[in-house]
Amino acid sequence: MQSVKIGILGLGTVGAGTAEVLTRNASEITRRCGQSVLVTMASVRDTSKPRSCDCTAFTLTQDPYEVVSSDDVDIVVELIGGYDLAKDLVLKAIENGKHVVTANKALIAVYGNEIFTAAEEQGVSVAYEAAVAGGISIIKNIREGFAGNKIEMLAGIINGTGNFILTEMRDKGRTFEDVLVEAQELGYAEADPTFDVEGTDAAHKLTILAAIAFGTPLQFDDVYTEGISNLDLMDVRYAQELGYRIKHLGIAKKTESGLELRVHPTLIPEKRLLANVNGVMNAVLVKGDAVGNTLHYGAGAGAEPTASAVVADIVDVTRTLGVAAQYKVPALAFQRDSIKSLPTKSAAEFDCAYYLRIEVEDVAGVMSQLSAEFAEQNISIEGITQKEPAKDQDTVSVIFITQKTIEGAVDRVIDRLESLDIVRGSVVKIRVEHLN
């Protein structure tokens, strides 16, 4: 029986998990592919370092270029992460006529257009299911399962670190800084957690999902990105009292005036399924014109959940070896000559509801002054809540939930509110999505 030969770049958590799954489930994979799939080479930084997988059946090298140039490798699996080296290795593998499987969302989001063009010209495949939400298979679901739909919107919890932090803040009343330390100790967050907590990781993933949902090029630079590091525990508590939960969402919407691509903290009604995705789990809500709302839930990270997606891609590539490019599923779901750029909205053009927390002097006439500013901008109010003043404090928190409106109008109201003598400090603004 003919074998397909795999070269892995990086034997860290996901790389070792991939080698383990390929070995453990070899007979099942062979039954699915019609041929065996064998790891023949892997590159690591230090060949003397102990590994969590059995490396005796394949060659280890400290030179990743040896893997992408080897005649003993048919499919290169890139699991080193990052931008520059990964890009160079992937393009070299493509140049050498090798198929590529990658879990590198940053690479695809930033350089995917260039990589897919090179792969098409060379007649090879680039698969990247593991780049978004690990074990959920959301890319395959959107790209293939919903091929008969016009996708209208998607919203996802696509970073497990941020979701873990927000869950702990809500359930245990812990501060962001406190939970972040634990997330790092548990291995959920890196020593430098910036990509996770400031939204960059989620923006990479949203870039990919939006492109395959709407038939546009990858456009990472157009994603509005806001993290959770400045989120106050007070707002997490107030949101829950009002029947909402705060989640860090990636949201993509296709509207008549362009795309909304945004990552930010969001209030969601607590009865929504997405509001009840907790801990490090991921979930993506996809709305299609034919299928309606669908929710895809599962582990978004970890050795074997991510390896599951990597191996699924290896199986897909193996099944289509020798198949002409025009008969394969396109990398970005749509035929390349039909992929079209669409304008993207600025934050001022976003259209949703808003939570505003205003710290005001505890004096008579406050509500009428605040409400007048909203009326001036024709913003309708869904609800108003005034909290009890804390002991020894001369200010109170007033919370407005608006109806759907344009964000530019909300920002004008905030500017006016912050200029009032009765308002102390900055107004807190968090977007609200009902996800109907």
82-123, pLDDT tens digit by residue? Answer: 999 999 999 999 999 999 999 999 999 999 999 999 999 999
pLDDT tens digits, 189-247: 888 999 999 999 999 999 999 999 999 999 999 999 999 999 999 999 999 999 999 99
| DSSP-derived secondary structure for 98-136 | -EEEE--HHHHHHHHHHHHHHHHHHT--EE-GGGSSGGG
pLDDT band at 326 (very low <50, low <70, confident <90, very high): confident
The class of domain 139-299 in CATH terms is alpha beta
pLDDT tens digits, 141-158: 999 999 999 999 999 999
pLDDT tens digits, 120-129: 999 999 999 9
Structurally, at CATH architecture level, domain 3-136+303-338 sits in: 3-Layer(aba) Sandwich (3.40)
Please name the amino acid found at residue 280: V
Helix then strand count (H, E) for the chain reads 14, 17
All CATH 3.30.360.10 domain ranges of the chain, comma separated, are 139-299
**Distant-in-sequence, close-in-space partners of 102: CB < 8 Å, separation ≥ 6:** 77, 78, 79, 86, 90, 108, 126, 127, 128, 130, 131
Superfamily of domain 347-432: ACT domain (3.30.70.260)
All CATH 3.40.50.720 domain ranges of the chain, comma separated, are 3-136+303-338
Alpha helix (H) residue ranges in 279-391 = 303-319, 366-376
pLDDT value of residue 187? 86
Give 397's strand partners: 359
Q: Is 205 assigned a catalytic role?
A: yes
pLDDT value of residue 425? 94
pLDDT value of residue 192? 93
Q: Of the residues 5, 105, 140, 205, which is catalytic?
A: 205
pTM of the model: 0.96
